[in-house]
Amino acid sequence: MVKADEFSVNDVLARQEIEYLQRWYARATDLIGTNEADNIEAGRKIYHRIFTPDASIQASDPNGSYFKVTGPDEWVKVVDGALSVFDSTQHLLGTQIVTIENLPDEGGQGGRGSMTSYLQAWHHDPDRVIDIYLGTYFSEVRYTPGVGWQIFDMRLKKVAGEVFDKSQ
C-alpha cells in the first residue's frame, strides 16, 4: 500500500498535471462533438496542448475496428468524423491511475510516466439512438520543456458498449 508520505510535493503535482491531460482530452472531445466550427477549433487547440506533435493516437470503434493516426490534427479529423452523426456527447472519466517513471530534472528534461483512465462516453442522436461506449485509456506521457506534461501515446480500448435504438 502506498503511504501519503511516500510522494514528494513534485510527484503529487506531476500526478495531478498528468491526470488533467485526460480530463482536458474529454472536454476537447465534447467540444468537437458539438459539430460547431468554433468549438471544433477550441477542441483542436486543447489537443495541441495535451498531445505531442508526433503523438500516436488510437481507439477502437463500436464494431471493434481500430483507428490509428499520428498527431493532434489527424485525431481531430477522426473524432469529428466519428461524432458528427450525434448532436451531443459526454465523455466521463472515472478511475485514473498515474505511474511516474521519473520526474523532470531541474532543467525540465527527462520526465516520463503512464496513466490508465476509465471512460464512459455517451453519444446522443435525438431522432434515433443513444450510444454508450465504455473503455479504458492507456496513455504514455512525457515532460516537454516549456510546455509541461503531454501525451505521446494514447490507446483507447473498448471494454463494452450498448446502442439503444429509439425507432424500435
Separation of alpha carbons 79 and 91, rounded Å: 12
Report DSSP state, residue 145: T
Structural domains in the chain, CATH included, are: 4-165 (3.10.450.50)
Q: How many CB atoms lie under 10 A from the CB of residue 146?
A: 5
Predicted confidence (pLDDT) per residue in 54-112, tens digit: 999 999 765 667 889 999 999 999 999 888 888 888 898 999 999 999 999 888 888 99
E strand spans, the chain = 51-60, 66-70, 88-102, 112-124, 129-144, 148-165
Strand partners, 51: 151
- In this model, does residue 14 exceed pLDDT 90? yes
Is there a contact between 89 and 33 (Cβ–Cβ < 8 Å)?
Answer: yes
Is there a contact between 51 and 72 (Cβ–Cβ < 8 Å)?
Answer: yes
C-alpha distances out from residue 79 to 8, 28, 34, 75, 84, Å: 37, 10, 11, 6, 8
Q: What is the mean pLDDT of residues 124-146?
A: 88
Among residues 134, 47, 129, 38, which one has the least CA distance to residue 88?
A: 129
How much is the pTM?
Answer: 0.89
Strands 112-124 vs 88-102: parallel, antiparallel or unpaired:
antiparallel
Strands 129-144 vs 112-124: parallel, antiparallel or unpaired:
antiparallel
Largest CA distance in the chain: 61
C-alpha distances out from residue 117 to 30, 45, 137, Å: 17, 22, 5
Return phi, psi of residue 42, to 5°. Answer: -65, -40
- In this model, does residue 144 exceed pLDDT 70? yes
Separation of alpha carbons 89 and 33, rounded Å: 6
Residue 1: which pLDDT band, with cuts at 50, 70 and 90?
Answer: very low
